[in-house]
């Protein structure tokens, strides 16, 4: 939670207290005014001048850190929050914001340390528990993440995002039922939460409940018509049901929305292959390989398409690549041996 130290203009301050603040405070307030207008550079310049006039001006360091953070300059933000903490070691907000900046830098350990200190100073900070939970999740520790989300939810039972994130952590732990329950609660609190519908759909899909998965993907698409992954996953369900036309339409839509989705190209390639359209199947598999060069399954499928076209050299090259990626793939090794024998007999 990023809170501003001042929220009055200079004129309002004079009117309220009957006298002008000292010059450093004037620059600090001007910095706030520029920040609130979205002029981050001018805000930073004014906070810097306030600090020059008063090197112990905690609020100016803190607020300049916020402005640097908003500019994407995490290092400068961390330096300012650190100085604010040095001047006021009991400032929970500065620890919290420095934790956010460490998170942005991809340093979850430092972020966790700062969120923990913020919690120590203010045990009722739901946002600090929430962010620390997310940092634990980033570290691959879903158990600690769940414990923090539990506390965040206890402090703020109406936080849909906390339920959503706890659902992710439960899913990571393999507890699909708890994940579904949390996504459902997030949806109850925020019926327009497209990502919660999508994630719940994924869990239903993993459980083999394609009916509920289909409904959730469709609702995610209704709420967010640009949700490429929802189209791709719904396409898989259509394909499994034998509705290749609808599957093709969903895969194509996913590709239009996200041209870098290797899965969508792979899946659409499968529709083309099943229809006997080998050239388009090969084109889609080739694009999937370009986006994900180490997916053995895509090389295998393209190898099959080449084989069916009679292009045995290209088929062999793809099967050899499969074996390079996955030396334990006995099925492809046997197919490659058969193909080599076939080619030798020509």
pLDDT band per the 50, 70, 90 thresholds, residue 10: low
Q: What is the pLDDT of residue 345?
A: 77
Q: What is the pLDDT of residue 139?
A: 94
Is 3 a residue whose pLDDT tops 50? no
Sign for the CA dihedral angle at 293, 299, 301, 304 comes to positive
pLDDT digits (tens, 9 = 90+) for 185-227: 999 999 999 999 999 999 999 999 999 999 999 999 999 999 9
Mean pLDDT, residues 18-26 taken together: 74
Sign for the CA dihedral angle at 290, 293, 298, 304 comes to positive
Q: What is the pLDDT of residue 7?
A: 53
pLDDT band per the 50, 70, 90 thresholds, residue 54: very high
Mean pLDDT, residues 125-129 taken together: 97
Q: How far is CA 159 from CA 127, 152, 156, 217, 265, in A?
A: 10, 8, 6, 23, 37
Sign for the CA dihedral angle at 263, 268, 273, 279 comes to negative
Q: What is the pLDDT of residue 4?
A: 41
What is the spatial distance between Cα 111 and Cα 161, in angstroms, rounded to a whole number? 19
Is 111 a residue whose pLDDT tops 50? yes
- Per the rule left: phi > 0, alpha: psi between -120 and 50, beta: everything else, 170 is alpha
Indicate the range of 4-18, 29-43, 164-178, 267-281 predicted with least confidence: 4-18
Q: What is the pLDDT of residue 342?
A: 87
Percent pLDDT > 70 in the chain is: 94
Closest CA to 216 of 251, 183, 246, 257: 183
The C-alpha angle with vertex 50 and arms to 46 and 56, in degrees rounded to 5, equals: 145
- Per the rule left: phi > 0, alpha: psi between -120 and 50, beta: everything else, 106 is left
Is 1 a residue whose pLDDT tops 80? no
pLDDT digits (tens, 9 = 90+) for 293-334: 999 999 999 999 999 999 999 999 999 999 999 999 999 999
Is residue 95 within 8 A of residue 118, CB to CB? The reply is yes
Mean pLDDT, residues 168-187 taken together: 97
CB neighbour list of residue 71: distance below 8 Å, 6 or more residues apart: 40, 44
- Please count the other Cβ atoms lying within 10 Å of the Cβ belonging to residue 234: 29
Is residue 145 within 8 A of residue 164, CB to CB? The reply is no
pLDDT band per the 50, 70, 90 thresholds, residue 22: confident
Q: What is the pLDDT of residue 21?
A: 65
Is 15 a residue whose pLDDT tops 70? no
Spell out the domains of the chain, with CATH numbers in brackets.
1-123 (1.25.40.10)
- Please count the other Cβ atoms lying within 10 Å of the Cβ belonging to residue 259: 12
Q: What is the pLDDT of residue 20?
A: 58
pLDDT band per the 50, 70, 90 thresholds, residue 14: low
What is the length of the chain?
Answer: 346
Q: What is the pLDDT of residue 6?
A: 45
Q: What is the pLDDT of residue 2?
A: 36
């Amino acid at each position: 939670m990023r809170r501003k130290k001042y929220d009055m203009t200079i004129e309002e301050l004079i009117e309220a207290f009957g006298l002008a603040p000292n010059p450093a405070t004037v620059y600090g307030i001007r910095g706030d005014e520029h920040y609130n207008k979205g002029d981050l550079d001018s805000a930073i310049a004014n906070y810097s001048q306030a600090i020059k006039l008063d090197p112990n001006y905690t609020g100016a360091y803190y607020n300049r850190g916020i402005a640097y953070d908003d500019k994407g300059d995490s290092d400068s933000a961390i330096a300012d929050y650190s100085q604010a903490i040095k001047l006021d070691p009991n400032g929970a907000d500065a620890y919290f914001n420095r934790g956010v900046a460490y998170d942005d830098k991809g340093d979850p350990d430092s972020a966790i340390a700062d969120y923990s200190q913020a919690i120590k100073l203010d045990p009722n900070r739901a946002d600090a528990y929430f962010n620390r939970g997310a940092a634990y999740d980033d570290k691959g520790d879903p158990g600690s993440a769940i414990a923090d989300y539990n506390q965040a939810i206890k402090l703020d039972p109406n936080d849909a995002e906390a339920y959503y994130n706890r659902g992710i952590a439960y899913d990571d732990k393999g507890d699909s039922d708890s994940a579904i329950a949390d996504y459902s609660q997030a949806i109850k609190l925020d019926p327009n939460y497209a990502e919660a519908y999508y994630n719940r759909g994924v869990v239903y899909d993993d459980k083999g409940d394609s009916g509920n998965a289909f409904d959730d993907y469709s609702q995610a698409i209704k709420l967010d018509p640009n949700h490429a992954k929802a189209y791709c996953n719904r396409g898989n369900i259509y394909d499994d049901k034998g509705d290749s036309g609808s599957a093709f339409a969903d895969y194509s839509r996913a590709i239009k929305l996200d041209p870098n989705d290797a899965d969508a190209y792979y899946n659409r390639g499968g529709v083309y292959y099943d229809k006997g359209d080998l050239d388009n199947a090969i084109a889609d598999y080739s694009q999937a390989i370009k986006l994900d060069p180490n997916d053995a399954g895509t090389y295998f499928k393209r190898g099959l398409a080449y084989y069916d076209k009679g292009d045995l050299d290209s088929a062999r090259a793809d099967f050899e690549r499969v074996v390079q990626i996955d030396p334990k793939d006995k099925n492809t090794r046997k197919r490659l041996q058969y193909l080599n024998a076939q080619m030798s007999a020509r």
